[in-house]
Amino acid sequence: MINEHDLDAWDYYSHIHPEKPMTMNDYQRLAAETAIYSSAHRLLYPALGLAGEAGEVANKIKKMLRDNKFDREGVAAELGDVLWYVAALARDLNVDMQDLAKQNLDKLYSRKERGTIGGNGDNR
């Protein structure tokens, strides 16, 4: 969950580098400074956290359907938490966020070019 340390990291970064936009790797590095889970729980802790936060996103959307009230800020806050856990899990896998994003776009554009972006399965 985003906490005061996350906000402090963002504030620190934006004051030190106001002219430079934050990259995904910058975010990953700064977010890592707020990780407080044991190395014994590498992979497991962020994977479970990611699943929980994705559920919170879905729950916010569900409540929007039920209450017919759009909660943009609430969903965005939960997406930020999802991003933190993605960054933590990628770090624990020794994968840079920037590389992860590029590889995912390469895969999606390849599927689009081959007309296989729809459907299901990993090997389309």
In tens digits, the chain (124 residues) has pLDDT values of 555 655 566 566 666 666 778 899 999 999 999 999 999 999 999 999 999 999 999 999 999 999 999 999 999 999 999 999 999 999 999 999 999 999 999 999 999 899 888 877 777 6
pLDDT value of residue 41: 96
Short-list 94, 86, 57, 52, CA closest to 73:
57
Cα separation, 112 vs 46, whole angstroms: 30
pLDDT of residue 120: 75
Report pLDDT for 17: 63
Q: What are phi and psi of 34, to 5 degrees?
A: -105, 0
pLDDT given for residue 116 in this prediction: 87
Q: Are 57 and 64 in contact (CB under 8 A)?
A: no
pTM for this model (two decimals): 0.80
SS3 74: helix
Where do the domains of the chain lie, and which CATH numbers do they carry?
4-114 (1.10.287.1080)
**Residue 21: what pLDDT?**
86
Contact status, residue 1 vs residue 81, Cβ threshold 8 Å: yes
Write the single-letter amino acid at 110. Answer: S
